[in-house]
Structure 1
């Protein structure tokens, strides 16, 4: 596939924790504490302030951590498996497939529970990601730009189908809400399914070395005794679970999985295991900052975090393209 040299820097390989990571944890922790106390509702002065703090602020902050880490991690795994730095769930159509699965469940089972909707989104995201990988196997020219273009085209087709179905069934407004990518509706009792992505993160960490080997290509993976197709299947399943869960609970978080792994790899190389804590931490930090901006820029109203992320991500995406072009 597209030429992305995976050469972990010797000084970082195998080092999971160091002083810089502790500083990063402290900074992100401060942002999360700030998130707890930013909002229109006065949690200190109101009579039910303590209750609202527990119902809204704490769940929202936990959701920021889980969703940010999940999407950043998904981008990292997907970039390894495709050997391309420009792919992530929103540039491969995975998010659009998850939305189509959610829409399908809502049409077939109007009163579906959160778990049922989540299963539908995960299954559709898995199918869509596998379709993307099958397309890649059919493409002979796999430059760094061709791969994400294929994903974006597939996503556009799926998004068009979802929009058409939503128009025919008067669910277009619901579709827009689902893809808004906002933490406004995250409340106690409605976000707990996000803890599933923590299990996904543990699974990715445990098989990180296999993902790293698979990122070297099918031929090398087979030569060292790795079942390449099985690892692709496992990676696709983990990406689908993380993307489906986040899509149902929060919505679309564009470009997060693109920005974070590229920034981390610039400074630390490409070893998945040692980079995973940094990727999750930076993903949480970026989502939290974007959410704080969205909450304060037009207070008392909120701007969806996906809008802020989309602006930042688009700028970073262009910069990465220019950097890739200079490097040839």
Structure 2
């Protein structure tokens, strides 16, 4: 039994097919907590996470090569919403820095962090493995192949959107490959899904690496490597809207199917006994999550471990019930990636560290700790 199922308390015991009220017991917030753990108010946790996200976003907009007072940042935002809300006492250059340079980047950071986090939580329920991560499906590696091909071969078919479009096509191709490799006899098992994802990711990573090392242009090689390491430099408002819409729509759908996700924590047999078509549900959610990840990776590059860490932190606060955990996971993931991007921009300023390196430095030790905890 995985740690996730343990976090679900008595969910498995409540899932007996002949027991009255079993469905309600499995999806109940009470059963999604570790026995003996005091219940934390969801409203209190969400309010704290909203404040944390706003504080991180304010710091992210204020800090940079030109430091701005936090009060001035909010003054600029309020003045842009309506001039009567704040009296202008800043230069036009500072307003441009806030509205056109830093704010879109911070918003995209929040969107990507939220999207990776909720995808990670959904995947850990779908494959019933607490070590699952959005990068597990090979979608990130497929996006890397598409993006590296555009950089190395200088493809400009879609103008400024050539790189994200190629990355999305690569991610979609990887999704299709993993989907068909994992299906056998019309069914998709957890083991085949994980093995197909890992194998596909390794092959596609090798292809991307081959394209990089065989490039004759060192500038193109450097650009491709920086994209593969993950980063959000040069973000504009045009880039923000598509991933924001995808993450919002996908999160709403995941919230709508939170009860079936809770049922999966009790095991496939128990979920099927309670009326869930496990294989069809898992296939549909797998496609949804992979499409969300593909859209995210297409604009940010490969940023790992966010979807691994955040779900576990949220479960420690609120338990495993997805109705409570998904909104908190989105907020915490947004705040985490905004802070990580802030550190990446300022740690060795004026140089910038790829944010994927920082998330790996944090996520790697966390992953090892999880493995040792499961072994015990």
Superposed CA deviations along residues 237-273 of structure 1, whole A, max 9, x for unmatched, are 2211221111111111110111011122233221112
Structure 2 residues without counterparts, runs of 5 or longer: 10-28, 34-38, 73-89
**In the alignment, does 2:61 pair up with 1:36?**
yes
Query: Equivalents in 1 of 2:362, 2:309: separation in Å?
Result: 9
Give the Å deviation of 1:129: 4.5
User: Aligned pair in 2 of structure 1 residues 116, 296: CA closer, same or farther (>3 Å)?
Assistant: closer
Could you tell me which of 243, 250, 256 is aligned with 2:293? 243
Give the Å deviation of 1:216: 3.6
Q: How many residue pairs were aligned? A: 320
Kindly indicate whether the alpha-carbon contact (under 8 Å) linking 1:54 and 1:188 is maintained by their aligned counterparts in 2.
Answer: no
**In the alignment, does 2:189 pair up with 1:137?**
yes
Query: Equivalents in 2 of 1:27, 1:299: separation in Å?
Result: 24
Query: Equivalents in 1 of 2:181, 2:368: separation in Å?
Result: 23
Q: Which moved more, 1:30-39 or 1:42-51?
A: 42-51
User: Aligned pair in 2 of structure 1 residues 62, 129: CA closer, same or farther (>3 Å)?
Assistant: farther
Give the aligned partner of residue 204 of structure 1: 254
Give the aligned partner of residue 187 of structure 1: 236
**Rg larger in structure:** 2
Give the Å deviation of 1:102: 4.3
Q: Which moved more, 1:176-185 or 1:2-11?
A: 2-11
Kindly indicate whether the alpha-carbon contact (under 8 Å) linking 1:67 and 1:246 is maintained by their aligned counterparts in 2.
Answer: yes
Written as runs of structure 1 = structure 2, the 5 A alignment for 1:163-312 is 163-168=209-214, 172-195=221-244, 196-312=246-362
User: Aligned pair in 2 of structure 1 residues 139, 210: CA closer, same or farther (>3 Å)?
Assistant: closer
Kindly indicate whether the alpha-carbon contact (under 8 Å) linking 2:138 and 2:175 is maintained by their aligned counterparts in 1.
Answer: no
Kindly indicate whether the alpha-carbon contact (under 8 Å) linking 2:227 and 2:301 is maintained by their aligned counterparts in 1.
Answer: yes
Give the aligned partner of residue 10 of structure 1: 30
Give the Å deviation of 1:206: 1.2
User: Aligned pair in 2 of structure 1 residues 61, 179: CA closer, same or farther (>3 Å)?
Assistant: same
SS of 2:130's equivalent in the other structure is coil
Structure 1 residues without counterparts, runs of 5 or longer: none
Give the Å deviation of 1:90: 2.0
Q: Which moved more, 1:33-42 or 1:150-159?
A: 150-159
Query: Equivalents in 2 of 1:123, 1:218: separation in Å?
Result: 27
So what's the TM-score if we normalise by structure 2? Answer: 0.74
Give the Å deviation of 1:153: 4.7
Superposed CA deviations along residues 144-169 of structure 1, whole A, max 9, x for unmatched, are xxx5x875454222200222245456
So what's the TM-score if we normalise by structure 1? Answer: 0.84
SS of 1:21's equivalent in the other structure is helix
Kindly indicate whether the alpha-carbon contact (under 8 Å) linking 1:70 and 1:280 is maintained by their aligned counterparts in 2.
Answer: yes
Kindly indicate whether the alpha-carbon contact (under 8 Å) linking 1:96 and 1:159 is maintained by their aligned counterparts in 2.
Answer: yes
Query: Equivalents in 1 of 2:204, 2:41: separation in Å?
Result: 39
Aligned CA-pair RMSD: 3.2
Query: Equivalents in 1 of 2:65, 2:55: separation in Å?
Result: 20
Kindly indicate whether the alpha-carbon contact (under 8 Å) linking 2:109 and 2:334 is maintained by their aligned counterparts in 1.
Answer: yes
Q: Which moved more, 1:262-271 or 1:246-255?
A: 262-271
